[in-house]
A = this chain, B = another copy of it.
């Protein structure tokens, strides 16, 4: 019997992980989603190296937010667990984190180029380019590598929670995209969008990219976010 987190959180994290392959973001077992329960001081994450088609709620691992120890679970958590934890600790508004190796977002990470804002598809979700970190130093690689992978993202955003809400994702240099959101589902959807806008940007760059006017981008971000948002329907319906 599992008790450390609610059945609902487990189910949401499982479902978000299973959407990784369905959305075409996964090769083999690459990619993981977590969701946090800040009151309980824990987050739930995919186990390391387990195939999506055999993954069950019982396989998920519950990890302590304060020290990264396994609180519940019979498997080792994702190798990226410490990266997730460092993002949760730095940004109070983050409720879920997703990491994938989706092909087009990785290409930008490998070229160490931010994903530029080229249109409304991007501006609907990211209020600015998806930025790319510096490469980790030999010291950052030698000790606490995965935690430091989160830290270069935190440094990139200036540990600014507002910015993390407005640009819910970043590329780690020569590695790939990490995205986050209010919950596990939102973080996964931001991963899907990150890959979609990366693909569009790659094709646009091939055709010759043109900078869009800022007032258009502002309009799109505002219509989906903030006090005057008017996109979508209440999730209860």
* Residues in chain A within 8 A of chain B (CB atoms): 27-28, 30, 47-50, 74-76, 79, 101, 103-104, 106-113, 118-121, 135-138, 141-142, 145, 173-176, 189, 192-193, 196, 199-210, 212-213, 215-216, 218-219, 223, 230-233, 237
Contacts and interface: CB of A to CB of B under 8 A. Distances in A.
Contacts of A230: 76, 79
Contacts of A50: 233
A119 B108 contact: no
A75 B207 contact: no
A176 B121 contact: yes
Contacts of A174: 118-120, 210, 212-213, 216
B233 A203 contact: no
A118 B113 CA distance: 13
Number of copies: 4
B103 A203 contact: yes
Given A74-B237, A210-B111, A233-B75, A119 B106 contact: yes
A200 B110 contact: yes
Given A119-B175, A175-B120, A176-B120, A141 B210 contact: no
4 tightest A-B contacts by CB? A49-B232, A107-B203, A111-B207, A174-B212
Given A28-B189, A136-B216, A110 B118 contact: yes
A57 to B, nearest CB: 15
23 contacts: A27-B196, A30-B121, A48-B232, A74-B237, A75-B233, A75-B237, A76-B232, A79-B231, A103-B200, A103-B203, A107-B203, A110-B119, A110-B207, A110-B210, A118-B174, A120-B175, A121-B176, A136-B216, A175-B216, A202-B203, A205-B206, A205-B207, A206-B206
Contacts of A109: 119
A216 B146 CA distance: 11
Given A103-B196, A110-B207, A121-B176, 18 more contacts: A28-B189, A50-B233, A75-B233, A76-B230, A101-B196, A103-B200, A106-B204, A107-B203, A108-B207, A110-B200, A119-B175, A119-B176, A141-B216, A142-B215, A142-B219, A174-B210, A174-B216, A206-B206
